Amino acid sequence: MNKTWWKESVVYQIYPRSYKDSNGDGIGDIQGVIQKLDYIKSLGIDVIWMCPVYKSPNDDNGYDIADYYDIMDEFGTMDDFDELLAGVHERGMRLIMDLVVNHTSDEHAWFVESKSSKESPKRDYYIWKKGISGGPPNNWQSFFGGDAWIYDKASDEYFLHLFTTKQPDLNWENPTVREEVYTMMKYWLDKGIDGFRMDVISLISKRGYDDTPYQEFNETIEKVYANGPRVHEFLKEMNREVLSKYDIMTVGEGPGINLDNGGKYVNEEEKELDMVFQFGHMFIDHGPEGKFDPVPYSLPQFKKVFSDWDNKLAGKGWNSIFLGNHDFPRITSRFANDQEFHAESAKLLCLMMMSMRGTPYVYQGEEIGMTNVAFDSIDDYDDIETKNVYKEWSEKGKDLNLLMKAIHQQGRDNARTPVQWSDQVNAGYTSGTPWIKVNPNYPQINVLAQETDSDSILNFYREMIQVRKDNPSLVYADYVDLDPMSESIYAFKRWDDECEHLVILNFTSEDYVYNIDAQGFEKVIGNYKAPLAYGSGQITLKPWEAVLMKKS
Q: Is 544 helix (H, G, I), strand (E, B) or coil?
A: coil
Closest approach of Ca ion to the CB of residue 27, in Å: 4
Q: Is 269 helix (H, G, I), strand (E, B) or coil?
A: helix
Nearest to 521 by CA among 530, 511, 512, 531: 531
Decide which of Ca ion, ligand ISL, none touches 27; Cβ closer than 5 to 8 Å per partner kind.
Answer: Ca ion
> Does residue 169 bind ligand ISL (CB under 6 A)?
no
Decide which of ligand ISL, Ca ion, none touches 198; Cβ closer than 5 to 8 Å per partner kind.
Answer: none
- Please report, as residue ranges, which positions from 109 to 148 form the binding site for ligand ISL (by CB under 6 A): 143
> Does residue 54 bind ligand ISL (CB under 6 A)?
no
Decide which of Ca ion, ligand ISL, none touches 25; Cβ closer than 5 to 8 Å per partner kind.
Answer: Ca ion
E strand or H helix at 466: helix 457-470
Nearest to 507 by CA among 349, 366, 343, 370: 349
Decide which of ligand ISL, Ca ion, none touches 255; Cβ closer than 5 to 8 Å per partner kind.
Answer: ligand ISL
Decide which of Ca ion, ligand ISL, none touches 200; Cβ closer than 5 to 8 Å per partner kind.
Answer: ligand ISL
Q: In this structure, what DSSP letter does residue 127 have?
A: -
- Phi/psi at 306 (5° precision): -70, -40
Among 46, 59, 60, 366, binds ligand ISL (CB under 6 A): 60
Closest approach of Ca ion to the CB of residue 305, in Å: 37
Region class of 325: left (phi > 0), else alpha (psi between -120 and 50), else beta: beta
Note every long-range contact of 208-215, with CB atoms under 8 Å and residues 24 or more positions apart, other chains counting: 209/129, 209/137, 209/138, 209/140, 210/138, 211/138, 211/139, 211/140, 212/138, 212/139, 212/140
Region class of 479: left (phi > 0), else alpha (psi between -120 and 50), else beta: beta
- Please report, as residue ranges, which positions from 1 to 40 form the binding site for Ca ion (by CB under 5 A): 21, 23, 25, 27, 29
Cβ atoms of 276 and 253 within 8 Å: the answer is: yes
E strand or H helix at 175: helix 175-191
Comparing CB distances to ligand ISL, the nearer of 199 and 367 is 199
Applying CB under 6 A, what is the total number of residues that bind ligand ISL?
Answer: 13
Among 10, 11, 85, 100, binds ligand ISL (CB under 6 A): 100
Q: In this structure, what DSSP letter does residue 221 have?
A: I
Comparing CB distances to Ca ion, the nearer of 23 and 139 is 23
> Does residue 390 bind ligand ISL (CB under 6 A)?
no
Cβ atoms of 420 and 96 within 8 Å: the answer is: no
Decide which of ligand ISL, Ca ion, none touches 143; Cβ closer than 5 to 8 Å per partner kind.
Answer: ligand ISL
- The β-bridge partners of 505 are 490, 546
Torsion of CA 53, 274, 495, 492, to 10 degrees: 60
Q: How far apart are CA 111 and CA 95, in angstroms?
A: 29
> Does residue 163 bind ligand ISL (CB under 6 A)?
yes
Closest approach of ligand ISL to the CB of residue 56, in Å: 11
Q: Which residues are catalytic?
A: 199, 253
Closest approach of ligand ISL to the CB of residue 108, in Å: 13
Q: Is 502 helix (H, G, I), strand (E, B) or coil?
A: strand
Between β-strands 94-99 and 47-50, what pairing exists: parallel, antiparallel or unpaired? parallel
Applying CB under 5 A, what is the total number of residues that bind Ca ion?
Answer: 5
Among 194, 274, 327, 481, binds ligand ISL (CB under 6 A): 327
Comparing CB distances to ligand ISL, the nearer of 323 and 525 is 323
Comparing CB distances to ligand ISL, the nearer of 177 and 541 is 177
Q: Give the dihedral sign, CA 458/460/465/469.
A: positive
Among 157, 199, 344, 367, binds ligand ISL (CB under 6 A): 199
Q: How far apart are CA 238 and CA 277, in angstroms?
A: 19
Write the interaction track for ligand ISL spanning residues 456-485; mark x where CB under 6 A is met and - where it is not: ------------------------------
- Count of C-beta atoms within a 10 Å radius of residue 493: 16
Comparing CB distances to Ca ion, the nearer of 23 and 141 is 23
> Does residue 63 bind ligand ISL (CB under 6 A)?
yes
Comparing CB distances to Ca ion, the nearer of 50 and 489 is 50
Residues that bind Ca ion (CB under 5 A): 21, 23, 25, 27, 29
Residues that bind ligand ISL (CB under 6 A): 60, 63, 100, 143, 163, 199-200, 255, 291, 326-327, 385, 412
